[in-house]
Chains A and B, each alone.
Chain A
Amino acid sequence: MIPLSSGPVPATADAVIIGGGVNGLVTARELAAEGMKNVVILEKNYIGSGSTGRCGGGIRQQWTTEENIRLAQESVELYENMSADLGYQVFFRQGGYLMITESEDDLPALRDAVELQNRCDVPTEFLQPEECLKIVPDLDISNLKGATFCPKDGTAYPFAVVWGYARACHRAGVKTFIRTRVTGITADDGKIRKVHTDRGDIATERVINCAGPWARAMAAMVGVQLPNKQERHEIMVSESLKPFLDPMVISITNGIYFSQSLRGEIVGGIGDPAEPGLEDPALFDTRSQLRFAVRFAKALVRHYPRAAQVRMMRQWAGMYDVTPDHRPILGGVPGLEGYYHICGFSGHGFMLGPVTGRRMARHIATGEADDIITSLSLDRFAKGDLKPDAFVVG
């Protein structure tokens, strides 16, 4: 039974997690596994209704900084074992990621990335355009200059992941409330005291902000200023086809990405440089636009001409929670005991959520320092200690 609690929220909790997406659910489940009792998740819509359920489901290890590669590697290991771990099929499939470019100028960076990834034991290889045909036989390579391919990258079904974690949370005694809004957070003496919701108040010493695009607004309730901006991104699915496409294809030139789901649909999106960075949830507009459908179709048909006669079934939009260096923000803030955030994934929350949630849960439950969390803490922006990654696509 997926937990869908109704009625008033409990009067007290050991930890309150804001957000029922991949980050909130993983963190809750892992906190329970660390022995924390009485963990509560508050979700304002339904499980996975925010960025998780709107994402493309890709998980890749092809990054240009060692820290990102190692983190993604750890995440892939979790995904490889996730169905068994949760007792729930999450449809993780390692068809690889084929990263293509149409610019000669990108080739040195691609080769450097392959070298770094290989040093980290990620089996990526550099491919000449014609070698891409071994992986995607009908790809139009006439404009390609090169590509990289990692066979261990893959995709999973985002809703299956959140449902699997929601069940695991339920089994572990976590209480999940959907259709429940956080209306305020009270702190005094530098400590978290209470979370207010439209179903009542919860006295708690810990609040974990996993609200994705709404994290900035949640943090502001306790005076924490996040540098995150929120960008709308669109995505679509086609009709179902027989299996024909093994990897996720992603272009670092125009930002298109597309893969085939286990249901047979082409799932894909394309970044739009015209989308502004927002700071106010009141301005989020996830209505669909014809502009996206046309831009995506033009790019898809150009890279994969055989898709021309395939029909698009539906499109939708979601919000990215984007930080200045496109890397997540983890940990707490000095002077506010019991407040934590796991946010700012910049479009990569589904791929990193299982590992960051696990690390954060251990850190919160035991108080032990974690080098990844330290490195991704909020104060890096004030210190100017940034390690941006070159492979931010989509």
Chain B
Amino acid sequence: MSKAKIFLCRCEDVTLGEFREAYTEGFTELESLKRYTGVGTGFCQGKGCLSEAAGELAVLRNIPAGEVRLTNIRPPAEPLTFAQLAALEVPAASDDTEDKS
């Protein structure tokens, strides 16, 4: 089996081949690769694939893995239903910041 058919992102069915193709189309950062291929946008929100994607991008760009800029992490940490969220009290304004940009 070709390595290109390996699933990089199992939630969104993104293969290594598709990820590499997106890179050659000019999506050279994880933030853009995420939005173009859908990698990391599924149910696990990247917990299962982001490190693999970063490693693959390091190989494609021929840079150390530590130099790959990761995507911003978006809350919630686990998907929550709107009913769960709606049951909470509204926090005061300018409170409870969680996520960087």
Contacts and interface: CB of A to CB of B under 8 A. Distances in A.
A391 interface: no
Interface residues of A, number: 41
Given A1-B26, A294-B91, A314 B32 contact: no
A294 B89 contact: yes
B26 A288 contact: no
B1 interface: no
Contacts of B81: 308-312
Nearest to B74: A314
A310 B97 contact: no
Given A2-B26, A314-B45, A294 B88 contact: yes
B83 A308 contact: yes
Contact of A290 (B27, B82, B96): B96
Interface of B is mostly: loop
Nearest to A301: B86
Most buried by A among B45, B81, B89: B81
A274 interface: yes
Contacts of B35: 53, 159
A285 B43 contact: no
Contacts of A163: 36
A298 B83 CA distance: 8
Interface in A290-330: 290-291, 293-298, 300-301, 307-316
Contacts of A47: 32
Nearest to B98: A288
Contacts of A272: 93
A286 interface: yes
A376 to B, nearest CB: 30
24 contacts: A1-B25, A1-B26, A2-B26, A46-B29, A46-B31, A49-B31, A159-B36, A163-B36, A274-B94, A286-B101, A288-B75, A288-B99, A289-B91, A290-B88, A294-B86, A294-B90, A294-B91, A295-B90, A300-B82, A310-B82, A312-B76, A312-B79, A312-B82, A314-B41
Given A287-B101, A297-B83, 13 more contacts: A47-B32, A49-B31, A53-B35, A159-B36, A163-B36, A263-B38, A288-B74, A291-B93, A308-B83, A309-B82, A310-B82, A314-B74, A316-B99
Interface of B: 24-29, 31-32, 35-36, 38, 41, 43, 45, 72, 74-76, 79-86, 88-101
- 8 tightest A-B CB contacts, nearest first: A2-B26, A297-B85, A314-B74, A274-B93, A311-B79, A308-B83, A297-B86, A297-B82
